[in-house]
Amino acid sequence: MKIAVYPGSFDPITKGHLDVIERGARMFDGLVVSILENSTKKPFFSTEERMDMIRKATSHLSNVTVDSFGGLLVNYLKENKYGFVLRGLRALSDFEYEFQMAAMNKRLDPDIEIVFLMTDINYSYINSTMVREVIKFQGNVEEMVPPETMDTIKTKYKGEIHENHRTAQRTGKHLKRRDPCAFFIQGDGQYGGGPGDHTGDHVVVAG
Q: Can you say which residues are annotated as belonging to the binding site for substrate?
A: 9, 41, 73, 87
Query: Which of these is catalytic: 41, 154, 166, 174?
Result: 41
User: Alpha-carbon distance 4 to 23, whole Å?
Assistant: 12
Q: Quick check: is 166 catalytic?
A: no
Provide the annotated binding site for ATP: 9-10, 17, 88-90, 98, 123-129
Query: Which of these is catalytic: 50, 90, 132, 202?
Result: 90
Q: Quick check: is 50 catalytic?
A: no
Provide the annotated binding site: 9-10, 17, 41, 73, 87-90, 98, 123-129
Query: Which of these is catalytic: 128, 132, 136, 202?
Result: 128
Query: Which of these is catalytic: 15, 17, 50, 202?
Result: 17
Q: Quick check: is 60 catalytic?
A: no
What residues are labeled active site? 17, 41, 90, 128
